[in-house]
Amino acid sequence: MTHPPPRIVAALLLTPAVLLSGCATGTQRDPVDPLEPLNRATFRFNDTLDRHIAQPVARTYNRTVPRFVRTGVDNFFSNLGDVPVMLNDFAQLRLMDGMNDLMRVAVNSTFGLLGVLDIATPAGIAKHNQDFGLTLGHYGVPAGPYLVLPLFGPSTFRDAAGFGVDQYASPITYAKPASRNTLWGVDFVSTRARYLNATNLLEQAALDRYLFVRDAYLGRRHTQLDEGKETPLPDYDKEDSGKQ
């Protein structure tokens, strides 16, 4: 993954079927979330910044930037993100996947004009999704408690550590500070703009949004770690609806 796209954005895209289950907060704290009071406070902080800053900027970006330019920007950052994905594939000894991702980067960086054009996908070179948090999990490191990071959103103790390592693997990190900060900013806006519809879907659902994001994130991470094995959805019917 690249920089990581804001992690809260990714969580909003998860399993639409969750919307069909009622959502409420339990009277007993979930053992995977012993820091729930702190996490909820951080979640509210992130949500306030997202509503008042990130979303308006993302909507302006979508209105003013032509679609083909937005697609090129997305492709460019996706290509950069394939570098840490490739390294994590090799770290997990997924040699075929690693060679596949090396080929993606090579093809898109050359024939795709530094990744602005995604040549690899139509050519049948599949895109993978790995990060150092998954690499740690691959070798048996437990996820640890759920943790909401300021600005970056849902995580776990393991994924937070992995996130830091992935930053060192990202080519953006090694750009000059002015260029690096600009690239991070553009990447953030581009990613947030791409997922505005997911936010709208969440807003329309009568859910405890904190629980939805938490359980969707954890469910997705389990699925990624298990390489696509099905993960049961949380049983919200056992939870109390009064807590926000």
114: left (phi over 0), alpha (psi -120 to 50) or beta: left
Which among 160, 134, 141 has a CA at the least distance from the CA of 224? 134
pLDDT in tens, 83-119: 999 999 999 999 999 999 999 999 999 999 999 999 9
Whole-angstrom distance, CA of residue 23 vs CA of residue 32: 17
Question: Phi, psi (5° rounding) for residue 154?
Answer: -65, 140
Which tens digit of pLDDT belongs to each residue from 145-187?
999 999 999 999 999 999 999 999 999 999 999 999 999 999 9
Residue 228, phi-psi category: left (phi > 0), alpha (psi -120 to 50), beta (remainder): left
Min mean pLDDT across 23-32, 44-53, 141-150, 177-186 is at: 23-32
When comparing pLDDT for 226 and 177, which is higher? 177
